[in-house]
Amino acid sequence: MIDILPKIHDRNTLEFKVGYRAPDGTVYNDFEMNTWIYIPETLDINKHTYFKENFYRDILSYIRLKTPFYPLNELASTQCLPYIRLSEVCLNLSKHPTEKEQKSYEREIKMYASIFKSSIRDTIRSVLSENGEVRLTGCRDALHSLTHLFTIIRSLRAEMEERHTMTEMMQYFNYGDEFISNVAEQHISRMATFMKTHDPQNYELLLSDICRILDSEHEYRLSMGYLCVEENAADNNTEFVYHAGQLKKYIESNLYLPTHKRRNAVFLEQVVFSLAAGLSMVFATVISFAFQQTYGNFTLPFFIALVISYMFKDRIKELVRIYFARRLSSRLFDYKIAIRVGEQEVGWCKEGFDFLTPEKISPLVRKMRNRHSPLVIGRGVEEQVIQYRKRIHLNRKAISKLSPYPLSGINDIVRYNLSEFMRKMDNPNVPLCANKGDGQFTTTEGKKVYYLNIIIQFKYEKTTRFRRYRVCLSRKGIHTINEL
């Protein structure tokens, strides 16, 4: 099964979080994702100005394990697997502070904090999607679960201090504790902002609970020496943002999978180049033999024929090489990425990039693009189409062995920087004249925007699904991304 979550990562970058979930009971799973990006001709993005090297420079992909999911109320219990494992490694570290136990302890702290981040995000998102009394009850339950979770985690920390756990090891626990506190404050603030805007009546009923937990958490952070956000900070909270980013990378490093990227089908590529060289050599040799038989050796005609044949030989070699390369590029992938954990390979990913002509795009994709405006078709202006292909192969059995937690697959986080698309855009502000009536008018400004249409096809076993998105952007950056 494949799911996707698009968002604007920053002013110039789109992010697609693609989840590949392999069902239980399977050993190997193959997934396929094809993406067509329709680009306005006026942006001057085409096969002559935007090459494979540009595309792979602009795209960045992270592969990580899917975070095991536990509902927030379950995670706040001392009977759930994440807490049981964390408490066990804390106890073992106090008794046997070996290097092996230290690594297990650090790994479980990262895992618990990562699970918490996923749990509170999904729980609050689900709660806020409800209405009325159900939403109010869900918010109260979430806040109650958070309070209990803080209590059991910090009680565990106190127990470790009583056992005189090494200061260095306590620092790792503090990293996890501070990360949990950062994430909790962030999501509670989002809950409060949403309720205040969309449900003010229930917000008043929740306000005391929200203030209590935020105030309590703020006092705790100050007592622990954790960095806090300040309203009028002299450094604009630069230090907090940097430190929070470092914490996030540290905690989530447990889930990211190292990859090894190399060119795909190198042997076949060399065979094709050798074939091109062979065909050009056949031409040169035939010409040489023919003129030698006719004019003999060491004659001016034979010399001229030899020079001309070698001139054409180089051109034929290059033309045949380009022909085969273009014919094969749409069928082969550019790169193969091995997904490893240590020496264990748990899968691979292949990716390819091409510009497509309209006749090479399937009728179903053209229909989904739904480009029927006479304003565009009447001018005969064609869009440029990029196809980005990806194929994922997972060893479900190998993934399951990586952790005692229920790991169902991987997330592929793809970020695509569109700065190159904005390079030749017009000025984003257009002066306009607004008619106020009665002969009165005023000057105002309009915004000049462009639209990219993105169609994504997912294939898994016998299932095929499509998604279509429209991205609105200008020279100032990306404005919106909407699913159509």
Tell me what pLDDT residue 232 has. 81
d(CA 361, CA 397): 36
The tens digit of pLDDT for each residue in 60-112 reads: 888 888 888 889 999 988 899 999 999 988 888 888 888 888 888 888 999 99
| Cα–Cα distance measured from residue 89 to residue 92, given in angstroms and rounded to the nearest whole number | 5
Q: Which residue would you say has higher pLDDT here, 377 or 96?
A: 96
Q: How far is CA 312 from CA 15, 99, 271, 275, in A?
A: 48, 68, 21, 16
**Gap between the terminal Cα atoms of the chain:** 21
Q: Which region holds residue 9: left if phi is over 0, alpha if psi is between -120 and 50, else beta?
A: alpha
What DSSP assignment string belongs to 266-300?
Answer: HHHHHHHHHHHHHHHHHHHHHHHHHHHHHH-SS-H
**CA 321 → CA 184, 273, 277, 282, 391, distances in Å?**
58, 6, 8, 15, 26
Handedness of CA 338, 340, 344, 349 (dihedral sign): negative
pLDDT per residue over 379-402, tens digit each?
A: 455 788 998 988 888 887 777 777
Q: What pLDDT is recorded for position 378?
A: 47
How far apart are the C-alpha atoms of 347 and 400, rounded to whole Å? 12
Beta bridge partners of 384: 39
Residue 181's pLDDT band, with cuts at 50, 70 and 90, is very high
Q: What is the pLDDT of residues 202-260, one digit of tens each?
A: 889 989 999 999 999 999 999 989 888 888 888 888 998 999 999 999 998 888 877 77
User: Across the strands, what pairs with 455?
Assistant: 36, 468
Q: Any idea which of 186-195, 238-247, 330-339 has the lowest mean pLDDT?
A: 330-339
